[in-house]
Amino acid sequence: MIKSIILAAGKGTRMKSDTPKVLHQIYSRTLLEYVIDAVNETGLADENYIIVGHQAERVEEFVKNKYSNAKTVLQSPQLGTGHAVSMVCPYLNDFDGEIIILCGDTPLITSDTLKTFVEAHRKMGSDITVMSAIFDNPTNYGRIIRNSDGSLNSIVEEKDATPVQKAVQEINAGIYCLNWQKIKNAFSQLKTNNAQGEYYLTDIVEWGNNNNLKVNAHILERNEEIYGINSKSNLAQATKMLTQRTLDKYMTNGISIVDPNSTWIDPLTEIGKDTIIYPSTYIEGVNKIGNNCKIGPFAHLRGDVVIEDNVKIGNYVEVKKSHIKSNTNACHLTYIGDSEIGSDVNIGAGTITANYDPLSKVKSKTIIEDNVKIGSNSVLVAPVTIEEGANVGALSVITKNISKWSLAITRAPLKVLDGWVSKRLKK
């Protein structure tokens, strides 16, 4: 097994936010989650060390509550990326294996890429392998400088690069794989003789070469995976990139996305074949949608939703934390929350499951059994159960359980006042 070190100490000044940069979210997950999850999903790593600094307590609390195989390590003061990694050295003194180092603000990195990277490191017999990428415009990236035999000579930061070095299009992707026992001493020997006056992680390349270690670079296939988040604009762009990747996967698997440009789906959502997602639909969180469903347009699934086969969730319908069984329709202007809904149910337009008590702040469950019909503009005040086959008349407010095959109706009697309008107009 390998271990990871994830750099997450930065302030993220350009985010202009009180939230630490790595705790900003894309859909239902933080930037840091995407990185940790990618490492964990390789199946190679048994422990992750998260370097924290800015608002360390918030990041520490998040990691502690979310992951059992991650430990936070404080970097204070923050003296550069090389200094950040050195904070972990006391914890890894006896570790004899491979370490991968990543940044906590690159949410598009995938487990497949990380597995390929570690495999390349092993195949080349490297002691240090740096992930690299080719960019037409490499401005602001550290440049990969190779030897004539293709091995890695050095990484030169933009501010320290000569004009010739700046012309190099191969850049440092910021991910490293190290044979730890051979490299760990480097972190006590790094220098600050650079434009920033910091301990650069990139300087381990020069250190490795000076100590006759095998140093290489492995070129990343998909450049988008190292896209870093430094601003809200970057966050929006990364969301688009992740969404397009997700939609492409769905369409390859037989799901119809009518308009990918207006459809937003969390990668944690599973969708069955022959389901159609109509325009302006937003789906976030962990959800499971079955086969032959129709979702949208203008639908919103908010997480913890299970939708079985042949269900229709129509325009302006919002669903959260609910299970909807097969052949059920909720087609118009409806809110379904904290609910269990059976098969062959029809939910009329404008129906609301009133699941939240603002005084007690308790959310309760609505249960609608098989073959129930809910009339338009009804309110079901939870906790409540509508038993099998019951009908709820339009405009009803349901505050108690309804027995099987009953009609429940709270509509006021209709009054017609003949000539009322004419009399008013004459006045």
- Record the tokens describing residue 234, joined without a space: 């970057």
Quick check: is 332 catalytic?
yes
Q: 148: which DSSP letter?
A: T
How far CA 204 is from CA of 114, 124, 158, 160, 176, in Å, comes to 20, 18, 17, 16, 10
Tell me the C-alpha distance between 56 and 352, whole Å. Answer: 42
Question: 177 — phi, psi (to 5°)?
Answer: -125, 125
Beta strands in 136-252 (DSSP E): 143-146, 152-156, 170-179, 215-219
Contacts of 30 (CB under 8 A, 6+ apart): 22, 23, 24, 62
- Record the tokens describing residue 407, joined without a space: 């009609």
Tell me the C-alpha distance between 28 and 22, whole Å. Answer: 13
Tell me the C-alpha distance between 154 and 152, whole Å. Answer: 6
Q: What is the 3-state secondary structure (H, E, C) of 236-294?
A: HHHHHHHHHHHHHHHHHCCCEECCHHHCEECCCCEECCCCEECCCCEECCCEEECCCCE
Beta strands in 9-44 (DSSP E): 25-26, 29-30
- Record the tokens describing residue 287, joined without a space: 């959800």
Alpha-carbon torsion 55, 59, 61, 64, what sign?
negative
Phi-psi region of 296 (alpha: psi -120 to 50; beta: other; left: phi over 0): left
| Partner residues linked to 49 by β-bridges | 5, 71
Of 317, 356, 320, 357, residue with least CA distance to 337: 320
With contact defined as beta carbons under 8 Å apart, do 334 and 352 qualify? Answer: yes
Contacts of 201 (CB under 8 A, 6+ apart): 80, 81, 82, 84, 85, 101, 176
Q: Which of 54, 121, 323, 332 is catalytic?
A: 332
Phi-psi region of 209 (alpha: psi -120 to 50; beta: other; left: phi over 0): alpha
**3-class SS at 140?**
coil
Catalytic residues: 332
